[in-house]
Structure 1
Amino acid sequence: MWLAGNMTIRLFDINESPQKKGGRPKLTYEAAGKRLKIKLASELAIENQNSTPLLLHAANISARKSTENEVIKKSDRTGLLAPSPITPEKAFAFFMENGFTKQQYINVKQLSKQHGCDIYPSYSKIAEEKLKCRPAGIECTENEAKVSMQNLLNHTASRILLMQKEVCEILSDVTQCTLIFSYGFDGSTGHSLYKQKLSIAESQSLDDSLFVTSIIPIKMIDQKQRVIWLNKSPQSIRFCRPLKIAYLKETTSLILEEKENLDNQIKNLDLYVHAFQSNAIFVKFDGHLTLIDGKVLNILTGTNSCQSCPMCGAKPTQLLTTIDFYSKIFVMKPHTDQMPLPAEVVDLLDSPIISPGVGHKNGSTSQNSCAEDTDEENGNDDVSDTFEIELEEEVPDDIEN
């Protein structure tokens, strides 16, 4: 009976028949893990010959057509899609400016990395940049750390020229530069005294006293007096560079010894040669002793009283009673022209503000204008007589007697 019935047999082409492939099923990019995502992205980049602009443009177009908000839709400025990494120099400046510790910097780096913005370099790069900021020839003992002025100035000039590389490229004829700097020393006491045994005698060094010698770069100019670099905050500790830090008490003998040591180092300073492209820039140094206080100034000028003038040695009573500015009292001491005093003040000490017995005025522009006002008010051309009368009225009676 079944042979008389109808039977339908379906035939398939062997090439068109679906076959189940072995192995793991393929995952989409969204469902893939971290390693697979990196592999898929690498394969896509290789297929497009690692063309970054093409891939960024394709990502921008895909973000516009996508309904999911996983990619921020940017304009055609596709370069804004990728955050730019921070250079080790800028990262080190950020590290020092905020006073970070090592762990704080690592925490900031990890947090930015977790939010898809891995822009900070590793801490090892920061440590390398920190070593570049140290001058050569640092000597350390148990009671002091110091570096020679030549090494510190060479390092300072090198860092300034590297920082001002673009300026040197614009001023291509720069061959000679002068680095103007100020230097000085000061001491402080009253620090914590710890039970730390030192090999030297306690009378020579105690950790409750500190004596620091430092320099501050002020300005760098070239042979045509053009400014290559200018310190906009010369009174700030930002550019203060220590020459020596010692556990020593500030005394008269120590001040004079340190002054002599610095003078010898400045006298023996050599030119620094900086290699720039195919040329060489020669840098010389011009130092000024200005980082001192009144106590150090009095010791260096041999002034026993803080009320006396450190330049000429005049006492307060002599300053009030002396009218003649040609007097020997106002003659400057030897070597005081090397002390940190403005040029205007030195000129006033060398010559009188108003010459006695002379009908004309001399001095600066401001002094001339003041003298002219006095003439108009008093109607007297003899300025010296008027000036003497004013001084006599200001002298107290007890001083005259």
Structure 2
Amino acid sequence: MTTFAKKLKLSGSTSRGHGAFVRNRNLIDVWIEAPRGNRKQVVYEKILSLIDITDEPSKHLKSNIMKCSQLFGLKIANKWQKVGQSRNRLLQNQVYWLDKIIYRINNDSEENTSSDEEQEPPCRSVGRPRVPFEDASKKTKRRRVAELTTDRSANELQFAVNVVSGSNHSEVSPQIFSFSTAEALALMVDLDISVRKYLLLRSVINGKAQNCLARYKELQKTKNAIIPSQFIITEISAEVDLQELLQKTAESILETMNFEERDCRIKVICKWGFDGSSGHSQYKQKFSDLENTVEFLFLVAMTPLRLIDRETNKVLWKNESPSSTLYCRPIKFLFKKENADLVRNTEKEIITKIEKLIPIKIKTKEGHSYIIEVDMMLAMLDGSVGNVLSETNSTMKCIICGATPKDMNTLAEINRPPNVDNDRFGLSTLHCWIRFFECLLHIGYRLPIKSWQVRGPENKAIVEAKKKRIQAEFRAKLSLIVDKPKPGYGSSNDGNTARIFFHNPQTSSDITGVDRELIENIAIILGVLASGCAIDMEKYASLLEEARNLYIHLYKWYNIPNTVHKVLVHGCEIIDAFCLPIGELSEDALEARHKEVRKHRLSHTRKCSRTDTNKDLMRVLLLTSDPFISSKRKVSSKKYKKCNEAVQNYLEKQENGDLGIDLGTITNDRAPSKKSYSD
């Protein structure tokens, strides 16, 4: 940009009179409306009129003004072509240039003016004009302050800033840190914000602390690097390649570890399973097949539990939140109602893929290579899936010994030999809490009639009246809503309700009339199962037998439910069937994942087509469960209760004497991260 101006003050008045000056903006309309061949002369005359020259200008002044008009014409012609000969675009895009002064003169007298012009003729500045520091780019700012930062420390520069700004504080202000892309992604996931909200947050924070949050394009690169790229997307399903999913999971786990710098073979132990849910939103999107629906969802997922060195059997990494959604990685989801055929076909399909897995080879930046083998256990199952896979027709029949409800209330051993192969279906600790709670609750309803089956209008009225009284007292004393149907979600009897029931045995006993000792024994049994620690099987077996005998002695008239029977009778042999504590194999993470599916599908997916919706949903589920991103997250902390001594007596202590367990957690979805964003 060219500027012809005398080196005088640009504002106010001088000692010799008021300054008259001409800006580029003053000449735009004249130049546009003038004929092409006569534009130079028209601009010249306009400058003369603006600087208020009535007499014939001097030769020197005339020459200077003519040069100004000529150079202005060259500049404006170039800019006029760039904006497509649009006056509005020129005014919007060239604001800084339009406000530049191209000529200034003092109008005191012709003599003084000409002498000034002769002493200080206007000159042309070469190159771009110097942009104010506040408006300069980051690169320009770094270049300008390079000389200052060469021989000066940060403390000296900060002190100089305080002196210039007039601050009385000589102390150096705390250094502003910058988020890495992984930390920014973790923050974005924790806040559950969209791209638009992240850009708004970045603009506000970076306005106060520059370069604090990374650009979203950098976040996209990191996201694409950690999310598998091979998908199979349809209108009603989405599936990720299992081999690539395990590869990305192993790489993310190694990123979180301070691993020894040596080559070795590693074994990854994972649990997997599937579960169905209902009540999902139906959007206004077309289906190619009108029989399809999105009301029901069938989700297949896996969770890494441990990394073990195959040479030394040393645990290199352990999932501290095996029941949390932080590490629950989706393999496939299908908008279809759960049924027996779907369960069997899914099991065969996933097992076939597991058999075809090859060892994972990972090479780190330091040049170390690791060979990782995967061991996947089918453990995240509920009772209905176990019945289907074990080909047990009745849900009230035990899948291990085949006992019916009438057989379960006898202390004698079942004559039929147990099917030990069905021990592999494990125990869902979440459903154990719920089923034991419902069992004692229904005993409380039937205490006035002492009968398993409620028959006759009189007995039904008595049971219904007792039920309403118990529901009202739970609502008043413990703020619990029990046995209330929830459309599309089953009932209000969930894991949190059951835990509160067992954590308050005296109050629960007073409300239901069930024996307090039985409630306390069952609370210990369930607490030990959910601890995630190794169990002293000898002591635990005696506890199960004692609780079963007490139950049959007090409430023999109420047949033991299937899940209760499985824990009290077959609990020890099921626990022995697994190499890890039964508490780490719970289905809680998969159950909680259904809630997140509803939330992410509503807020973080495109609705332009069903395939785009499913693809976005799969990507966000993979992002929120990535181990490396989860290690950077700082989820809301929850209240922890240390396990009581009664539970500790049935657990095997570690070598250091620490149990390292978390019992009594009321909210079961998450465990807080020990790392903050800026660690």
TM-score, length-scaled by structure 1: 0.69
SS, match of residue 256 in structure 1: helix
The Cα of 1:87 is off from its aligned counterpart by 1.1
SS, match of residue 198 in structure 2: helix
Can you list the C-alpha shifts for 1:70-107, whole angstroms capped at 9, x where unaligned? x96335xxxx6642321111111111111111111111
- Residue 110 and residue 319 in structure 1: after superposition, are their counterparts in 2 closer, same or farther (change >3 A)? same
The Cα of 1:319 is off from its aligned counterpart by 2.5
Match of 2:166 among 44, 50, 68: 68
The Cα of 1:243 is off from its aligned counterpart by 0.8
* 2:200 corresponding residue in structure 1: 107
The Cα of 1:365 is off from its aligned counterpart by 3.7
Can you list the C-alpha shifts for 1:242-274, whole angstroms capped at 9, x where unaligned? 111112111111111111111112222211011
* 1:302 corresponding residue in structure 2: 391
Can you list the C-alpha shifts for 1:14-68, whole angstroms capped at 9, x where unaligned? xxxxx989879xxxxxxx653589878744523x5x52x7252432443565571
- Give the aligned residue type for 1:264: T
The Cα of 1:138 is off from its aligned counterpart by 1.0
**8 A Cα contact 1:288 1:340, kept in partner:** no
Cα distance in 2 for partners of 1:211, 1:391 equals 37
Match of 2:297 among 206, 210, 213: 210
SS, match of residue 74 in structure 1: coil
The answer to which structure, 1 or 2, has the higher relative contact order (CA under 8 A, 6+ apart) is: 2
Cα distance in 2 for partners of 1:392, 1:42 equals 84
The Cα of 1:210 is off from its aligned counterpart by 1.4
The Cα of 1:113 is off from its aligned counterpart by 2.4
**8 A Cα contact 1:176 1:283, kept in partner:** yes
SS, match of residue 179 in structure 2: coil
**8 A Cα contact 2:305 2:318, kept in partner:** yes
* 2:415 corresponding residue in structure 1: 328
Match of 2:287 among 198, 217, 226: 198
Match of 2:266 among 174, 177, 197: 177
- Give the aligned residue type for 1:248: K
SS, match of residue 238 in structure 1: helix
**8 A Cα contact 2:266 2:308, kept in partner:** yes
* 1:350 corresponding residue in structure 2: none
SS, match of residue 409 in structure 2: helix
Cα distance in 1 for partners of 2:205, 2:261 equals 41
Can you list the C-alpha shifts for 1:208-265, whole angstroms capped at 9, x where unaligned? 2211111111122222233322222211222111111112111111111111111112
The Cα of 1:280 is off from its aligned counterpart by 1.3
* 2:42 corresponding residue in structure 1: none
* 1:227 corresponding residue in structure 2: 315
Cα distance in 2 for partners of 1:55, 1:134 equals 42
SS, match of residue 301 in structure 2: strand
Q: Kindly, what percent of the aligned residue pairs are identical? A: 23
TM-score, length-scaled by structure 2: 0.43
**8 A Cα contact 2:381 2:425, kept in partner:** no
**8 A Cα contact 2:293 2:335, kept in partner:** yes
What pairs up with 1:258-297 in 2 under 5 angstroms?
258-276=346-364, 277-297=366-386
* 1:239 corresponding residue in structure 2: 327
SS, match of residue 111 in structure 1: helix
Cα distance in 2 for partners of 1:37, 1:146 equals 44
- Give the aligned residue type for 1:211: F
- Give the aligned residue type for 2:339: T
- CA-atom RMSD, angstroms? 3.8
The Cα of 1:305 is off from its aligned counterpart by 2.3
* 1:59 corresponding residue in structure 2: 157
SS, match of residue 308 in structure 1: coil
Match of 2:234 among 130, 141, 147: 141
Say how many residue pairs are matched. Answer: 326
Cα distance in 2 for partners of 1:397, 1:64 equals 83
**8 A Cα contact 1:206 1:247, kept in partner:** yes
- Give the aligned residue type for 1:268: K
Select the structure that is richer in helix: 2
The Cα of 1:369 is off from its aligned counterpart by 9.2
Can you list the C-alpha shifts for 1:113-149, whole angstroms capped at 9, x where unaligned? 2224431111111111221231132111112110232
Cα distance in 2 for partners of 1:21, 1:97 equals 64
Q: Does 1:45 align with 2:146?
A: yes
Q: Does 1:155 align with 2:248?
A: yes
